[in-house]
Chain A
């Protein structure tokens, strides 16, 4: 995936001021930056949720213009949104299979989805006693787990994770990092946005730093360390 010159404004705020990025299969790219740097906005564009004001996205050398997230999903681009994007009044299994329901003809195969949901959650070591619970009734961390399980379940080509571990407890964070490594091994390209910088060094191959709507640096993981990244994020000494 090759992204060039992405721009996006909201009213008077220029959220993105021309961002370029390359992404290779089987690698994990860490995307970091101060709050409001534009990370979420940028990844939403990759996932087709926003349409950019300018810029191009190429996939396998072919330029593509998304018309929406459904299309991006068709290309195998999956995303965990910072706001999770769950349907509160629908149960856990239903949310996991949202938009990709198992069906017999036009009918939902509820039993199969409940079984599949158990399986998905088990793989990610997520403990949710009852997959028939409504998502509104779950705790913050449980909700986040479901969003992650959903995005990883259907063999994506590109997986974008926008602060996926922010509400997770220790063991669950480990499970997510393990998941990322598993997916990388399968050839999935992963974009990980996080403020837990130490996690970056455990899964990422490259780190891109954003600042006020631009990409200011990109480092291979071997060439950098935590202090360097922090300095890059804050922009100290570069002005």
Chain B
């Protein structure tokens, strides 16, 4: 107890990240340690600078939710050389001195939702559909989610893609892009969204175009809007990571390390594909 840890965040505009922060804060409170949070607001450079500053400040451990997985490595090495343990959350860092990686592997999980999608299309949609995607092309992770998903879906040959539009990780941009995708493809049957802003935008687009009865959505990251859409039935499956747990485990790992213990290099957190069946378990979280 009484240690100071720092959490270097990606941004604080998306529930996913805020949940990591909350989980970390709760764990820190429980162990009686101080947690400093830095919001990089999507900037890799700002994360690098924050590392420098925290190293000067001689914190006892750093949690990094990286914007650029490769771009934080020099800072991670410097921190480790200064004797400060680093734990990575969410973005998967390359091989390096970080003590632990707590995340969902986006590529693998992309494949997972891909398999779920293939399954669903075969069972409920006659095995052959059209597919559009709303991505965030500037996000490395979300591109991996697209890649994993596409590979599985293409291999199964169940969908003809009409293309990916760029929601830029901004809700209203994603909405406009999704709307245009829908009007441009009046018979579109399925839509895949790779992150929270994209999914929120896609849900709103389906509603505003009055297409909720003709289209099925799949995507990433629960939100209140997503739960409502699941209830209405047009959002079929959502990959839900457990960011709160990730944040919590990250602090716990640092506490262990600071106490001289050791932790597993890869700390697994479960992903769930949330559907109508299991959505109730998540309601409380998004009130």
- Complex A–B touching at CB under 8 A: no
Interface residues of B (CB under 8 A from A): none
